[in-house]
Amino acid sequence: MKYFVQIPYIIFIVCLFSNLVSFAAISETELLRYVIKINGKSYEEKMIVHRTKDLMQYESCGNFTDPRIYEHGGHHCWDVVCTSDGQPRLIEYHAGPNKMHMTFEKNGLFEMKGFWDGKQCHEKKNFDKRVYVEVTGLVRTMDLNRKAPIMFDFVRITKFPVVRSHDLFFQILNDVIIDVPAGRFQCKKVLLSASGYKGFFFKAYFYVTTDKRQLIVKVDNIPIGGSTQLIEVSF
For 151-177, write each residue's pLDDT tens digit.
Answer: 999 999 989 999 999 899 999 999 999
Q: How many domains does one find in the chain? A: 1
Residue 1 resides in a domain: no
* Range(s) of the domain holding residue 63: 7-234
Q: Which of 50, 61, 48 is nearest to 13 (CA)?
A: 50
Give 66-79 pLDDT, tens digit per residue. Answer: 887 877 777 899 99
Decide if 193 contacts 155 (C-beta within 8 A).
no
Return d(Cα 78, Cα 165) in angstroms, integer.
Answer: 19
| CB distance 233 to 29 below 8 Å | no
- b (16+ CB within 10 A) / e for 144-183: eeeeeebebbbbebeebbebebeebbbebeeeeebebebe
* pLDDT band at 7; cut points 50, 70, 90: very low
2 located within any domain: no
Q: What is the pLDDT of residue 214?
A: 95
CATH number, domain with residue 130: 2.50.20
Top-confidence residue, 148 or 53 = 148
Least confident of 7-21, 111-125, 185-199: 7-21
Spatial neighbors of 226 by CB under 8 A, at least 6 apart, are: 36, 37, 38, 39
Check whether 18 has a pLDDT greater than 60.
no
In a domain, 65, yes or no: yes
Residue 33 lies in a domain: yes
161 in a domain, yes or no?
yes
Q: Is residue 185 part of a domain?
A: yes
What one-character DSSP code corresponds to residue 49? E
Spatial separation of the C-alpha atoms in residues 42 and 138, rounded to whole Å = 26
Q: Report how far residue 217's alpha carbon sits from residue 93's, in angstroms, rounded to the nearest whole number.
A: 23
